[in-house]
Amino acid sequence: MLVLIIRCFRGLYMGFNLCGDVIYVLDAAALFASYQLMLPHNSKAVTTKEVVEEVRDLDSRASLELSLSAGKLVIVDVPDKFLVEAVRVAGDLGEFSKLSKADISLTALMIMLVRVCGGVDVFVVTDDYSLQNIANYLGLRVLGVKRRTIDKVVKYVSVCRLCGYVDNTGLGVVCPVCGGFMSRRPSTVKSFGKCC
């Protein structure tokens, strides 16, 4: 498989300028739907290698190969500092427990685009509500592939089903007070805006 991995340096990626055009950040659902092949010419589709690794079926793989060779999709190698920030943002929203490694890498890519390009004209294409929640929190626009999108930011907490203990990080699975199972609950809902 032909893979183009580009390293970040102030919005310029080995001669490939990400900033200034409409950017579509694609998750696996978008790649399965070949979303990158349907984008207008003045746009760029980007994703991460962790997301590409989730694409395994032959049809989607062929579409992925075609879009990579045609330059319709760029795989971005996100610097570690943005991965660290992605974990922090996911934890702040109580979303960390719901995210895969690929989701964390995509979150880091979103944060990088906010920091490097100002988040202008960046669309996140996903059906994953946790990624949509994070994108809204970052002030990015969200497009669904097959499902409706959310338009609010929700912060989650973990609540013990037995004693009612509340863990504000949303990371708790077992209650530290009584050992009971903790479930995730929304604690605050607000209109989205830029966090960064």
Instruction: Give the pLDDT of the chain (196 residues) as one tens digit per residue.
Output: 334 444 443 444 444 566 767 899 999 999 999 999 998 888 889 999 999 999 999 999 999 999 998 888 999 999 999 999 999 999 999 998 889 999 999 999 999 999 988 877 899 999 999 999 999 999 999 999 999 999 899 999 999 999 999 988 767 789 999 999 999 899 887 755 555 4
User: From the centroid of its chain, how far is CA 140?
Assistant: 11
Q: Please indicate, yes or no, if residue 2 is contained in any of the structural domains.
A: no
Handedness of CA 106, 107, 108, 111 (dihedral sign): positive
Q: Can you give the pLDDT at residue 11?
A: 43
Query: Quick one: pLDDT at residue 149?
Result: 92
Q: 82: which 2 tokens?
A: 């943005």
Cα(8)–Cα(81) distance, integer angstroms:
11
Q: Are 109 and 172 found together in one domain?
A: no
What pLDDT score does 8 carry? Answer: 40
Q: What is the pLDDT of residue 191?
A: 59
On whether residue 12 sits in a domain, the answer given is no
Q: Are residues 118 and 54 in the same domain?
A: yes
CB 124 within 8 A of CB 143: yes
Number of separate domains in the chain: 2
Instruction: State whether 88 and 168 are in the same domain.
Output: no
Instruction: Give the pLDDT of residue 195.
Output: 52
The residue assigned the tokens 């949509």 is 132
Both 125 and 66 in one domain: the answer is: yes
Domain of residue 172, residue span: 152-190
Q: Is residue 9 part of a domain?
A: no
Is 128 in the same domain as 32? yes
Q: What is the pLDDT of residue 85?
A: 97
Domain boundary among 106, 123, 143: 143
Both 138 and 156 in one domain: the answer is no
162 and 134 together in one domain: no
Question: Are residue 92 and residue 115 in the same domain, yes or no?
Answer: yes
- Residues 68 and 163 placed together within one structural domain of the fold: no
Q: What CATH number is associated with residue 127? A: 3.40.50.1010
Both 74 and 164 in a single domain? no
Whole-number Å distance between alpha carbons of 8 and 77 = 7
Q: Are residues 138 and 91 in the same domain?
A: yes
Handedness of CA 110, 112, 113, 118 (dihedral sign): positive
d(CA 101, CA 55): 14
Residues 181 and 95 in one domain: no
pLDDT number for residue 17: 63
